[in-house]
Chains A and B, each alone.
Chain A
């Protein structure tokens, strides 16, 4: 199985700043099937990015995804107060899914 390593574990920033979250795969992700989710306390995860760089419906354009192969990045260009949450990357390949352990943005 592909292992996803997210870094940093915790990211401390302020509103208005730029956030850069990393997700590294133990081997190449098929077809760049790499998604990013946001989860706030007490809520279900919300899909932000799929296919490494495609924004999901209704996601603000301050969220962007990039990368290919084994290295992927989620960038939040200007943090809004509602963006402070936990972010997970997830890959799909060989009919299996794996999630990273998450980055807490505080």
Chain B
């Protein structure tokens, strides 16, 4: 059974760093792209970027390039999303999702990680 499980909720202060995780299981982890999607409170979905765990090739949305870092550790089937300096506007739910056989389809989603940034 394919599963994508994310790390738990985080509460941080502006300026702090943060790394959240997404672990895949039940499939050959290194051969499927994983994407990160942001959902700000009451808003829609925004693709942030994706990584191919097999070789860590990474692609970013222009809107998020330089704002976050996506990485992977295939030895523990885990992908990460990282901020060096959080802002209040980073408050959102962050989803990771596995890309399926078709390039346009994110077929398995994590449960979401709620990130709250507040002083």
Q: In angstroms, how far is the closest chain B Cβ from the Cβ of A91?
A: 7
Chain B interface size, under 10 / 10 to 19 / 20 to 34 / 35 or more: 20 to 34
Contact check, B45 vs A47: say whether CB atoms are below 8 A apart. Answer: no
**Which residues in B have some Cβ–Cβ distance to A below 8 Å?**
35, 37, 44-47, 50, 59, 61-62, 95, 97, 100, 102-107, 109-112
> Is residue A61 contacting chain B, with contact meaning CB distance below 8 A?
no
CB neighbours (8 Å) of A56 from chain B are: 105, 107
Contact A33:B47 (CB < 8 A) given known A1-B62, A45-B95, A46-B109: no
Complexed CA–CA distance, A56 and B102 (Å)? 10
CB neighbours (8 Å) of A54 from chain B are: 102
Chain A interface size, under 10 / 10 to 19 / 20 to 34 / 35 or more: 20 to 34
Contact A44:B112 (CB < 8 A) given known A90-B45, A95-B59, A101-B44: yes
Closest chain A residue, CB of each to CB of B63: A1
Most buried by A among B47, B95, B105, B112: B105
Complexed CA–CA distance, A99 and B110 (Å)? 18
Selected from A44, A91, A102, the residue in CB contact (under 8 A) with B104 is A91
Complexed CA–CA distance, A14 and B101 (Å)? 35
CB neighbours (8 Å) of A21 from chain B are: none
Contact A88:B44 (CB < 8 A) given known A1-B62, A50-B102, A96-B61: yes
18 residue pairs from A and B, CB less than 8 Å apart: A1-B62, A44-B111, A45-B45, A45-B95, A47-B100, A51-B104, A51-B105, A88-B45, A90-B47, A91-B104, A92-B104, A97-B47, A97-B50, A99-B44, A99-B45, A101-B44, A102-B44, A102-B45
CB neighbours (8 Å) of A90 from chain B are: 45, 47, 104, 106
